Structure 1
Amino acid sequence: MDIITGQPKPPSTVRAKYGTAQKMRAAISHKFGRDYSLGAQPWMENPLVPGKWTGNPSISVVVSQYMISLRRRKVRSGDVVTSARAMDEATMKKLYEYNTSFDSQPIGTVTKKRKADHPEYWAGHAIRNMLQLLYTLAMLCLLRFDEALRICWMDVTFEKTSMGILRIRLDLPFRKTHQNGGIAPFYLYPNLDKPWLCPVRAFSAWWIICRNAGIDMNGFVFRKKIGHDRFSDNGTDGMSPDSFMECFRKNMCDIKVDPRPYGTHSFRRGGCQYLAIELRWPFRNICSWAGWAEDFDNPGTLFKYLLSWNDNPSPEREDYFNPGRLAAYPCMACGRTCHCA
């Protein structure tokens, strides 16, 4: 219903989804709780003083019942909550092969006519290497993009293990779930078998490009895009989320993949599925690596990243116990190709 006219909305009008109602309620709860100092207690009548109400009105029983009813009605009308499609390893490989093979020679001024004839000229070799590093870090470290885009060079340490293996230590300056500190570092190692998921290779390529361009390594790792293939030499000019999404969507079009189902959480969800399905990490290790609650009080956080109808299709139901099912990719460690490896 249109709240202004009171009439049913025409089919051409975009309808608000259930997620919009959740955000509206969260904003109202924050307003009452913080600005009006009503806290986060449920709205209820004081048993000692009849007629006096305390708590947060947005967390009342009536509002909660309305939200449950609203969700049921939205689902019946065909509104299904859809998460961003998870990035998979095959798509990461396509992005890597396309971006790293892009001509590193400058192509000069890109006119409108030239851009129309060559849509891939939206970015050059340098910008594509920066994006590839961003993709890799976000997927392997399960990062939100506001976290990944804030990484500075001072947060990155190149070091060697006792066995002489080069690794990267990443100390994040900010995380949504650790706003008061206590952020555990990420240790990233080379992956020679899968260069499209090798953080050391991606960091080295971007570091060399910045060094050759004379960039001062005291600011953001991911810089503001300027023109075709230039980036800001000002350390405080970081890439914005909107600029990243525009580049990401164009990059997906380069490899002939529809970018519309993908979003800022695609690499975070894809990384979670990669660790669970491809690397077969236990759920406890995934939660610990991602920095999720140590007491596991919200298991839905993990499973909503693992399961969604919008992701790449799972095996056909008839193939789960099929002995003649096609073998999987061989494990780089033991060489097994069975699905139970």
Structure 2
Amino acid sequence: MRTPNLLSPLTMRDLSARNRLWLPPMCMYCVPGDDGAVTDWHVVHYASRAVGGFGTLIVEATAVTPEGRLSPNDLGLWEESQVEGHHRIVDAVHAAGALAGIQLGHGGRKAGTPPMRPREKGARTSTIEGWELLAPSAVAYPEHAVPTELDETGIDHLVEAFTSAARRAVEAGYDIVELHGAHGYLIHEFLSPLSNFRTDSYGGSPQGRRRFLLRVVQAVRQAIGEEKVLDVRLSATDWADGGLTGQDTVELARQLAEAGVDILHVSTGGNVPAQVPAGPGFQLPFAAQVKEAVAGTRTQVVGVGLVETAAQAEQALVTGQADAVAVGRAALRDPYLPLRWAADLGVRSWQEAPWPIQYWRGTWH
């Protein structure tokens, strides 16, 4: 039997993931204190998905500064004391045979929101009183506080904050560093004409709006070295008139490939409360556009967006829409989803599916 594309290895620089299934970053909102530190929950959560067969796991949005946290209960990597907890996650993920990545980000004008709880009304729709918001322009996200417009000194500080956090990620042992440039957070806010009204060199044109991200990419690429994988997550479109379009992202993708980015993780939306036409695989066409744009480079593309079945994920790879597929919501419901999907694709032996040796007695013969 031919090995499904989904279960074939994915090579990134000198690293090889055992398959092309990614766990995308999804915030757990479970840091109990104000220290941004990893908890036992985080270790167990990510270890479970690694044991469950994912080839690559990206740890949830981790703030590069305290005020950059999306909520008070989010992870951070803004100081040395936080490194050891991340080392625990990396060790657990590696022990189960997967690659470990981390998403570094800053919430910008959407930072400092009350933590999300299931079915809690009003969660994530306002700013905690007294929280300092920073953004490219002093324009509020609806129902949030008005942010302070960053000056050039503040921008320089944030470039260094991303760079320092990336160094700590390497110290913790992460294989992949992902920069969060999507979902309406700081980097996305710089990129989008719906949130960046600057007239200096960080705005005023598509190239000006890209300058902050390109500076961060250059600094982080140098900080993490040539062995580590650099990944950027992008919202390919704002789903709103006057906002980012797929063509804007295609042009940016070419620049990021030239700048040494190894992976482009293509999502959409989040910068304005637009009506997103969500449905199965609704973001994969944007991944396909980006993949075509970077063809001939070393940059690879991860597609995401309501991928709910093994057949759907396999089809995205077979048709060339992406080089790997990230599965979020379904993985929250089932940490062993990759093993089940291997069976759905006809794989019936532990030699082909990533079953842990401890579980071989329960697999097919």
Question: TM-score by structure 1 length?
Answer: 0.22
Query: TM-score with structure 2 length normalisation?
Result: 0.21
Return the index of the structure with the highest Cα Rg.
1
Name the structure with the higher strand share. Answer: 2
